[in-house]
Amino acid sequence: MSDVCKDIRKLVIEAAYTAKHGHIPSALSIVEIMQSYHNVETQDDVMILSKGHGCLALYSLLVIQGHVDEKELLTFGKKGSKLGGHPDRNKVDKIYASTGSLGHGFPIAVGTAMAKKIMKKNGKVFCVIGDGEINEGSIWESILVAVNNKLDNLICVVDYNKSQVRSLEPKLTTNMFDSFGCDTVEVDGHDINSLIKVMKSDDSGKPKVILANTVKGRGIKEIENDMFAWHHRAPNEDEYKRFTREINEG
């Protein structure tokens, strides 16, 4: 685990511990995805976290980048805080779209990518969606629009942590995106080098879908093994200290 990813995970745990709530497992599974985007992004790129309940990973990355103060992160979820349980574009400059309702962020990403094409603007549009989110019809309707308009500036990253009862096998999910006309690649969602490689490849002429195989609650074994109990639970003081130590040693 990279030092940056360790720092992001520790911030996620600290914020949830301080707030006494937060979607910890959903945030921990996308840490490497967020870090990989940070490593490849240009000033013209856009990132939309469609699975907005994983926002603690995004907020923590913004702390690492210097866009959000760590003291502000510790106001997460409190009255008057800029950092709510879902990202709000009206409160934080670096948040492109307000998200949280599943199936909502990806259509915004498709529209943004289309606008860039029409206006001949540079940059890619990255969108992170959850595996449960692909149950939403709006995802597939948007994919059809993206393929029909040849939006090769669109990269959809599926956080495939397999927490959904209705989640399909990775190969079948890949075939589904392929059948809609996407350039689909399956990778280890915790391997930063693999993620960066596929994020940078752009020679297919099609919308790209990265099926990132992840582990919900990655980095803390207790949460990995009991992610449903931890769905929206915060650690107590003993757990907070234990989890922080485990991340440091990971």
At 103-115, the pLDDT tens digits run: 999 999 999 999 9
Give this prediction's pTM: 0.94
pLDDT tens for 103-149 read 999 999 999 999 999 999 999 999 999 998 998 999 999 999 999 99
Q: Report the C-alpha gap between 49 and 67 in whole angstroms.
A: 17
* H or E segment and range at residue 161: none
Task: List the domain range (segments joined by +) for residue 114.
Answer: 3-249
Q: Report the C-alpha gap between 67 and 8 in whole angstroms.
A: 14
Instruction: For residue 164, name the pLDDT band (cuts at 50, 70, 90).
Output: confident
For residue 231, what pLDDT is reported?
85
* Sequence-distant (≥ 6) Cβ neighbours of residue 238 within 8 angstroms: none
What does DSSP assign to residue 215? -
For residue 87, what pLDDT is reported?
94
Q: Write down the mean pLDDT value for the chain.
A: 93
Q: What is the CATH number of the domain that holds 226?
A: 3.40.50.970
Whose tokens are 């685990």? That residue is 1
Domain count, the chain: 1
pLDDT tens for 59-85 read 999 999 999 999 999 999 999 999 999
Half-sphere exposure of 172 (CA within 13 A, CB side): 6
* H or E segment and range at residue 154: strand 154-160
Q: Report the C-alpha gap between 29 and 194 in whole angstroms.
A: 16
Question: Tokens at residue 122, please?
Answer: 């540079």
Mean pLDDT over residues 19-34, rounded?
95
Do the beta carbons of residue 211 and residue 5 sit within 8 Å? no
Do the beta carbons of residue 196 and residue 36 sit within 8 Å? yes
For residue 226, what pLDDT is reported?
79
For residue 168, what pLDDT is reported?
67
Cβ neighbours of 94 (radius 10 Å): 14
pLDDT tens for 238-248 read 999 999 999 99
